[in-house]
Amino acid sequence: MIDKIKINDKEFFNKLGLLITNKFDKLFNLDNILNSQYEEVFGYYIDNNLVGFIHISKLFETMDIINIVVDEKYRRRGIATKLLNYIFNLNEGPLSILLEVNEHNEQAINLYLKNGFTEINRRKNYYGKDTAIVMKRDV
């Protein structure tokens, strides 16, 4: 089941976030995100447990995917694909979705390519020494 994340999920949100970066809890504060006018986090729940989430920011017809993560135990079951499909259907009108991904993050790059994103740009030294690939999909 996919639903908006709640403040009670903070512990699991932070645990999942550590799979993205070990500075996650310093970079992303769920209280601030939930109070933001532009940002939203949708969680994927199995038996009421948060096993993945997608964090987006949206301004009119442009959306940025800030983070997407799935618990290691539940990967390769299509959960990230379902989270992406969920946000593709959030807008009634047209939507441009943008994201940055580390050039070495093969699993995420494959996920995005499989879901219709294409490379539009590269940003050098975006992740320390690593380059970011900027990807876009219009829905």
- Choosing from 106, 118, 122, 130, the residue that interacts with ligand COA (CB under 6 A) is 106
Beta carbons of 82 and 63 less than 8 angstroms apart: no
One DSSP character per residue, 4-44 reads E--GGGHHHHHHHHTTT-TTHHHH--HHHHHH-SSEEEEEE
- CB 50 → ligand COA: shortest distance, Å? 13
Is residue 107 a contact point for ligand COA (CB under 6 A)? yes
Is residue 87 a contact point for ligand COA (CB under 6 A)? no
Q: What are the backbone dihedrals phi and psi of residue 31, each rounded to the nearest 5 degrees, phi first? A: -60, -45
Is residue 139 a contact point for ligand COA (CB under 6 A)? no
User: Which stretch in 7-15, 71-79, 89-97, 126-134 sits in contact with ligand COA by CB under 6 A?
Assistant: 71-79
End-to-end CA distance of the chain: 22
Beta carbons of 83 and 52 less than 8 angstroms apart: yes
User: Which stretch in 5-13, 28-36, 101-109, 126-134 sits in contact with ligand COA by CB under 6 A?
Assistant: 101-109
Tokens representing 75? 């990967």
Q: Between residues 33 and 93, which has the closer beta carbon with respect to ligand COA?
A: 33
- Choosing from 8, 29, 62, 110, the residue that interacts with ligand COA (CB under 6 A) is 110
How many residues comprise the chain? 139
Write out the residues near ligand COA by the rule CB under 6 A. Answer: 19-20, 67-70, 75-81, 101, 105-108, 110-111, 114
